[in-house]
């Protein structure tokens, strides 16, 4: 006798009901209330600041009040952080609640039906199996086939029963969570309560005893940090944070962020600075950050071109990238820094910058993990008219010049980069080639030259120039001292590929430009 399912089993409380849209509406209402609460707290903080700088009244008692209120600011900011923690929980709760309506009585009824049908079909399967085992006639195989058919049908109903059992478990868990969806800020709220009590006792109307160094203050700072870690991206871990949440953190200017939001952003910034751009997942993440940190500035004068601008998050990333960069930095960090250097290289952003990763070349000569950096600059064609200019820099892997193999690879990468550029240029409209720069031949030979010959002529001329250019590059590379130097090839959208170098006594062009901008103020980095 095979196992049977309990047809009378109650997999969930009959009275439980889940209406996802209603849950989401309630969560959104709670979020709105919390945002209004934070606005009130901001007004209180503004009032405290105005009172603190008001010198119209002075005296020992007034100074004590100001000192007292100044420490209240810490508690108020902690309250704001607790509100943010609650908003985080409500948003996560909305994500956990799926779109399906779940009714306890319906789930139980469907589970019991599936269990009943499973048992019924298994009984039939067993009955036919017994007939098959005892029958020696030519019809025996028919009974075996019938037994297997009923068993397969029974298993289908068993799967249905499992599904309804899981739905019952899901409904139970959501119901338990509904009773108390807020957990992130619990510890912090307790510290805030203790802080308010301590501050109330610290002032007697005339004198104030500072609470700095108190256990509850240290506890508030610790809990705020722990909350930020829970809410933000951890060390290299992109899981647990939706694209919408990452976008939200990136969009808000740093200057307007709360203390907790700044902690969230710091985790994202740290990840960007230290990540090795070696997978589609990381590429998608960086593109999301770039898109979220870029906003429309407006239309260029006398043009249909939209101009974009970075918020203050991008300069912070670049400052963090280049502040401690040396030749001894990990190769991934060096290349990461150069990638970001080109991302903000243009004078005017006319589109959202982005990157992609690809392999270049063929067969055994293929270079893996090259990064395309696409930026959009403005170009004047008839003053004061503007057009959008798409620029694509391709950054190859880093190689150590100190090693002979590294120097050889750099040289090989240079040739592959030129081949890649030629393939890109093939896509250019041939009509342009026919119309531009053909004056030399008719003048030289006194005749009209067919387009096919013109095209071939310029192709050969370009090939010859390529060889000369390669020779110059090899000569330059040979002159580089074999010290602790690292270099890479960069495909320049406007000319031949060129050599970026960082090492003892050397700095690559991108780093020089960024550091020069940094010396003039962080806001200049985006220009």
pLDDT digits (tens, 9 = 90+) for 138-165: 777 788 888 888 888 888 988 888 888 8
Model confidence, pTM:
0.57
Pairing type for strands 306-310 and 294-299 reads antiparallel
Q: Please provide the distance, in angstroms rounded to a whole number, between the alpha carbons at the two ends of the chain.
A: 79
Burial 448-473 (b: 16+ CB within 10 A, else e): eeeeeebeeebeeeeeeebeeeeeeb
Is-contact 325 266, C-beta < 8 A? no
Higher pLDDT, 46 or 236: 46
> Where does 184-305 show beta strands of DSSP type E?
294-299
Residue 4 contacts by C-beta under 8 Å, 6 or more apart in sequence? Answer: 118, 119, 122
Average pLDDT, the chain: 77
pLDDT at 204: 61
Q: How far is CA 241 from CA 92, 140, 167, 247, 288, in A?
A: 10, 60, 25, 10, 13
Q: For residue range 337-352, what is the model confidence (pLDDT) as tens digits?
A: 889 988 877 667 888 9
Q: Any alpha helices (H) in 371-525, and if so which ranges?
A: 404-426, 430-435, 440-445, 451-479, 509-519
Residue 12 has what pLDDT?
83
Model confidence over 169-215: pLDDT tens digits?
A: 888 887 777 767 777 788 888 888 877 777 777 666 566 666 665 66
Tokens read off for 197: 């009590």
Domain locations along the chain: 17-231, 243-526
Average pLDDT for residues 304-315, to the nearest whole number? 88
Neighbours of 382 (CB within 10 A): 8
pLDDT digits (tens, 9 = 90+) for 339-385: 998 887 766 788 899 999 999 887 777 889 999 999 988 877 766 67
**Range with top average pLDDT, 195-199, 269-273, 454-458:** 269-273
Tell me how crowded residue 476 is: count the other CB atoms within 10 A of its CB: 12
């Amino acid at each position: 006798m095979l196992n049977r399912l309990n047809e009378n089993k109650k997999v969930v409380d009959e009275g439980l009901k889940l209406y996802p849209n209603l849950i989401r509406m309630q969560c959104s209402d709670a979020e709105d209330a919390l945002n209004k609460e934070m606005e009130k707290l901001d007004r209180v903080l503004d009032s405290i600041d105005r009172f603190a700088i008001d010198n119209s009244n002075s005296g020992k008692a007034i100074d004590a009040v100001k000192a007292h209120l100044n420490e209240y600011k810490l508690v108020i900011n902690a309250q704001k952080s607790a509100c943010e923690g609650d908003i985080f929980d409500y948003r996560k709760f909305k994500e956990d609640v799926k779109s399906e309506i779940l009714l306890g009585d319906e789930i139980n009824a469907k589970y019991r039906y599936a269990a009943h049908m499973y048992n019924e079909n298994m009984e039939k399967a067993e009955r036919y199996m017994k007939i098959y085992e005892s029958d020696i006639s030519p019809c025996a195989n028919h009974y075996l086939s019938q037994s297997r058919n009923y068993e397969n049908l029974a298993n289908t109903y068993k799967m249905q029963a499992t599904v309804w059992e899981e739905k019952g478990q899901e409904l139970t868990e959501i119901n338990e969570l509904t009773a108390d969806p807020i957990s992130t800020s619990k510890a912090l709220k307790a510290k805030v309560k203790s802080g308010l009590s301590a501050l109330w006792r610290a002032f007697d109307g005339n004198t104030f005893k500072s609470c700095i160094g108190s256990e509850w203050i240290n506890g508030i700072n610790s809990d705020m940090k722990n909350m930020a870690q829970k809410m933000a991206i951890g060390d290299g871990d992109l899981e647990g944070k939706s694209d919408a949440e990452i976008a939200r953190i990136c969009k808000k200017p740093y200057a307007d962020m709360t203390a907790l939001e700044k902690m969230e952003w710091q985790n994202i910034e740290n990840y960007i600075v230290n990540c090795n751009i070696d997978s589609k997942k990381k590429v998608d993440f960086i593109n999301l950050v770039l898109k979220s940190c870029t906003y429309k500035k407006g239309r260029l004068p006398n043009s249909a071109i939209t101009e974009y601008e970075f918020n203050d998050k991008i300069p912070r990333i670049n400052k963090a990238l280049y502040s401690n960069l040396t030749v001894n930095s990990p190769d991934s960090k060096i290349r990461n820094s150069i990638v970001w250097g080109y991302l903000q290289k243009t004078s005017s952003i006319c589109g959202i910058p982005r990157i992609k990763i690809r392999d270049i070349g063929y067969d055994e000569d293929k270079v893996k993990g090259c990064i395309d950096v696409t930026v959009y600059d403005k170009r004047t064609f008839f003053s004061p008219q503007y057009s959008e200019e798409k620029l694509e820099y391709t950054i190859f892997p880093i190689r150590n010049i100190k090693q002979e193999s590294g120097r050889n690879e750099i040289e090989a990468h240079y040739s592959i980069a030129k081949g890649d550029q030629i393939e890109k240029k093939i896509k250019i409209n041939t009509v342009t080639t026919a119309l531009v720069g053909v004056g030399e031949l008719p003048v030289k030979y006194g005749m009209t030259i067919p387009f096919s010959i013109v095209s071939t002529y310029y192709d050969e001329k370009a090939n010859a120039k390529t060889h000369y250019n390669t020779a110059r590059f090899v000569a330059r590379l040979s002159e580089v001292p074999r010290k602790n130097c690292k270099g890479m090839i960069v495909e320049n959208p406007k000319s031949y590929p060129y050599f970026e170098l960082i090492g003892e006594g050397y700095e690559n062009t991108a780093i020089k430009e960024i550091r020069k901008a940094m010396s003039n103020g962080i806001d200049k980095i985006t220009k």
